[in-house]
Amino acid sequence: MSDRLNSLLADFHSRLELCVDSQALESLKAEFLGKKGPLTELLKSLKDLSPEERTRVGQATNDAKTAMEAGLASRRAALDKIALDEKLKSEWFDVTLDAAPSRLGALHPVSRVQYEIEDIFSSLGFSIQDGPHCELDYYNFEALNIPKDHPARDMQDTFYFENGAILRTHTSAVQVRAMEKLKPPFKIIGPGKVFRVERTDPSHEAAFHQLEGMVVAEGITVAHLIHTMKTLLKEIFKRDVKIRLRPGFFPFVEPGFELDISCQICDAKGCSVCKHSGWIELMPCGMVHPNVLKHGGIDTDKFSGFAFGLGLDRLVMMRFKIEDIRHLHSGDLRFSGQFV
C-alpha cells in the first residue's frame, strides 16, 4: 500500500512540474484528488483492512493528500509570480518622468482690465454698481433726458423685445439706478455688457463692454472730470498716453466731451482700427445734465456731477495692441491663450 502511495505521489509531482497554467493545475487536481481519483478509491477501500492497518494507511493517505494540496498551492503561487513578472516587464513605466503639461485657465483680457479698473476706482473710494442687461426704456433713455422720438435715440440702434423692454444700449442706465439707490455725495462705476444693432468692423461689435462712471457732490467741476480721466489712463497704461478732448453731444451731459486716445496699435500713424485718423474714440464724458440729476431726485442748487462712459473693449485693444475687436468675442483659444 505504501509503495502504491509513493508511486502515486512521485507521479503527481512529476506531472505537477509540467503544469504551466491554472487550467492544467485544475485538471491535475481533479485527476488525483477528485471523487474518482486514486486517493478517494484508497480511502474507500480502508474498510476492508484490519483496524491497525486502517489507521496506518488512512494516515498515510491523508498525508499524501495534504502533500498534493500543498504541491498544487505552491505551483499555483509560482505560476502567479511568473505571470506577474511578465506583466510587470511588459507594462512598466518610468515614475520619474515629468507629467504631461496641463494648460492653466486665465481671465479673459476684458475681465482682466475690468478688474484692474475696478481696483483703481475702489482705491479712489468709488463703489461698484450693477444693472440688468434687459432694461426698461425709462432707465436707458427717458431718465437720461432722451424722451421718446428724440433724434439721439438713433445714435444707438436698439434691440427691442415685443413687450417694449430693450437690451441696454449703454451703461449710462446704471447712473439712473445709482441715483435711485444712493444719496449724494457718491462716486460709482458700473461696468457691464451693452448691445446695439451694429454692423461689425475692426472697432465695432454688436455686444461689447462699457464702464460707466458717475460722481455727484458739491462743487464738482470739469477739472475733477479731467483729473479722474487722466489718473485712470495713467494707471492702466503705466505711462502717459496722448489724449484729446473735443466737444461731444449727449443729451445727458452739458457740456459734453469726446475723449479720444492716440491709437496705440499704429502709434497714431493710421490703421483700420482708428480709420486712419490716428485717434480712437474711447471715453465720452461730461457734466451731468441738471435734468438727469432732477430725475434722480437730486437738488441741483446744491450738487453737481460728472459722468463718463468708457469703451472697455477698445481700451483693451489699445492696451494689448489687438487690431480687431472681433477677436475678443471669438471664443478662439489661440487668441485668448496669449493672455495667460
- Taking the complex as a whole, the smallest distance from the CB of residue 280 to ligand FA5 amounts, in Å, to 7
Q: Which is nearer to ligand FA5, 203 or 336 (CB)?
A: 203
Q: Which is nearer to ligand FA5, 32 or 195 (CB)?
A: 195
According to DSSP, the β-strands at 186-195 and 253-262 are unpaired
- Taking the complex as a whole, the smallest distance from the CB of residue 320 to ligand FA5 amounts, in Å, to 15
Dist CA 42 CA 155 (whole Å): 109
Dist CA 208 CA 312 (whole Å): 8
Q: Which is nearer to ligand FA5, 19 or 214 (CB)?
A: 214
- Taking the complex as a whole, the smallest distance from the CB of residue 297 to ligand FA5 amounts, in Å, to 19
Which chain residues interact with ligand FA5 by CB under 6 A? 156, 170, 172, 196, 198, 204-205, 208, 210, 250, 253, 256, 281-282, 284-286, 307-309, 311, 313-314, 325
Q: Which is nearer to ligand FA5, 68 or 282 (CB)?
A: 282
Other CB atoms within 10 Å distance of the CB of residue 47: 7
According to DSSP, the β-strands at 134-135 and 166-167 are antiparallel
The residue whose Cβ lies closest to ligand FA5 is: 311
Q: Which residues lie across from 247 on neighbouring strands?
A: 257
- Taking the complex as a whole, the smallest distance from the CB of residue 302 to ligand FA5 amounts, in Å, to 21
CA distances from 313 to 209, 210, 325 (A): 6, 7, 7
Q: Which is nearer to ligand FA5, 172 or 336 (CB)?
A: 172
- Taking the complex as a whole, the smallest distance from the CB of residue 174 to ligand FA5 amounts, in Å, to 10
Specify whether the CB–CB gap between 280 and 225 falls below 8 A: no
